[in-house]
Amino acid sequence: MEPPYLQVVADLRRRIEAGEFAPGDRVPSTRQLTRDWGVALATASKALRVLIEDGTLRAVPRVGTVVAAAPPTRPTRREPELSRDRVVRAAIAIADTDGLAALSMRSVAARLGVATMAPYRHVDGKDELILLMIDEAFGQTAYPDSPPSSWRAGLEMAAHAQWRAYREHPWVAHAVSLTRPQVLPKAMAHTEWMVAALAPLGLPAVEIFHIYLTVFNYVRGTAVNLEWEREAESTTGMTNQQWIDSHNDDLAAVLASGRYPALAATLTPDADIDLVLDDLFEFGLLRLLDGLELHLGHRDPVAAEVDPVDRGHRH
């Protein structure tokens, strides 16, 4: 069964194509759609957003959402120009907006305006489609021709590139696997970069991969919160800071109980503590790299060539 917002989209399209709403006419508001369909306000908003994005509707300040002057002609069921790339891009657009839970072969077909089975001519099914989406998301990240001379700078550059991929596509952190790595040709450029940054240190292969996976999983582990943050904001209609502010009285009451003196002494009104994911990512990454630097004994391509006995003392 299609998600509720797609059912609203299909009904509004049908009514527009039937002439119930002419170009320039206002369509039902989100609140009216909420009453008519018995859906959440966020669901009704998604439906209108989809129709605005594909050009069927447009938002007019102080008026509302109206039918576009020239509603787009929906593609016929014959789609000679349909390709794997178009299917993947449409799927990414759905996941970026509504998360992986909203993704299905049917929703991809609806977004493309093609027959439900048309995408199957280009991908075997949802599982393959998600792999292609992950690969494309990582493939959008470009690296210089060669890594910096410092292993630390190389890992830091890769971690920031990985974070940007998750920032642009929050669902990726949930879809990618650490212990069952997917074979993704474009994404392997990320692995190649990090391994190349570490290779001059002359480390055993297992240590190189442990370092690579530790950094990779730190970034991924922090990034899983991006999708939860997006979903929470969509559901509650509040930003993280607004949500925290709305619970300040509850927190103050718990701290005033005397059960948590260390927290009470730390979380004072002037503590200025925030939970901005970008800041938390940056702080944790620098501390992780500091730890690796101690573990490696500040090694660099030159230091890696010193006498093994001397190297042992430096650890």
CA dihedral 157, 283, 293, 137 (to 10 degrees): -30
Mean pLDDT by 10 residues, the chain (315 residues): 79 87 89 88 85 81 80 48 92 90 89 87 90 92 81 93 92 86 84 90 93 94 84 71 73 82 79 80 94 80 42 38
Please answer whether residues 144 and 189 qualify as being in contact, where contact means their C-beta atoms are separated by less than 8 angstroms: no
User: What is the CB-side half-sphere exposure of residue 164 using CA atoms within 13 A?
Assistant: 13
Domain 84-139 has CATH 1.10.10.60: yes
* Per-residue model confidence (pLDDT) at position 290: 93
CATH architecture of residue range(s) 151-314: Orthogonal Bundle (1.10)
Query: Which residues make beta-bridge pairs with 231?
Result: none
CATH architecture of residue range(s) 4-67: Orthogonal Bundle (1.10)
* Per-residue model confidence (pLDDT) at position 2: 63
Please answer whether residues 44 and 37 qualify as being in contact, where contact means their C-beta atoms are separated by less than 8 angstroms: yes
**How far is Cα 11 from Cα 28, in angstroms, rounded to an integer?**
12
* Per-residue model confidence (pLDDT) at position 77: 47
* Per-residue model confidence (pLDDT) at position 242: 72
Each domain of the chain, given as residue ranges in start order, spans 4-67, 84-139, 151-314
* Per-residue model confidence (pLDDT) at position 223: 92
* Per-residue model confidence (pLDDT) at position 298: 56
Q: Please indicate whether the domains covering 4-67 and 151-314 agree at the CATH topology level.
A: no
